[in-house]
Amino acid sequence: MAVKSKRLKRRVTGLGGVFLRARRPKLLARWYRDHLGLDVAGQVAVFRWCSPRGRGHIGHTVWALLGPRDYDFGSKHARAMVNYRVRDLDWVLKMLRRERVAVEDRIEESKYGRFGWVTDPEGNRIELWEPPARYVTAEHHIPME
C-alpha cells in the first residue's frame, strides 16, 4: 500500500533502533560480538551513520538485547521490535489514527526523547521515536538530528 500522505513520508526519518528479546542477553551479546564482530557494550551496540543531508549530520541507531521481562513488545511472544525515528510524533500519531491504525494512547517522554507505539496489521508492535535536539550521555554528546 502506498503512503497516503507525502507529508507523512517526510516525517519518518530513519531507523532508531532494533530490539531483540533474549532468554540470556549477556550470552547472546557475546555471541554477536564473537561471531559477527558487533561492538557490543553490555547488551547494546550503537551504529553511527551520516545523514544524506551532508557532513556534520551524524545519527545513531541502537541495537539492543533485552531480557524476557525488560520491555513491553506488546506481546509476551514477540521476539523483536523496531523503532523508527520521526520528526513530529504528535502529528504522525494523529495522521495514523485518521487512517485507522492501532495507536496506543500513551506517549512516553524522557531525556531520550518522546515515544509512541502503533501495531501493524500482523500484530507487530512498532515504536515511534522523536529524538531530542541533543541527547547528552555521561561520556559524550550525541547529535540526534
What are the residue ranges spanned by the domains of the chain? Answer: 6-143
Could you tell me how many residues make up the chain? 145
Q: Which CATH code is given to the segment(s) 6-143?
A: 3.10.180.10
pLDDT tens string, the chain, 145 residues long: the values are: 455 555 555 677 888 999 999 999 999 999 999 998 999 999 999 988 876 666 666 778 899 998 887 877 777 778 888 999 998 999 999 999 999 999 999 999 999 899 999 998 888 889 999 998 775 443 344 444 4
Task: Tell how many helices (H) and how many strands (E) occur in the chain.
Answer: 3, 10
Q: H or E stretch including 15?
A: strand 12-21
> Could you tell me the pTM of the whole model?
0.76
DSSP 52: T
Residue corresponding to grid cell 524476557: 68
CA nearest neighbour of 70 among 108, 28, 20: 20
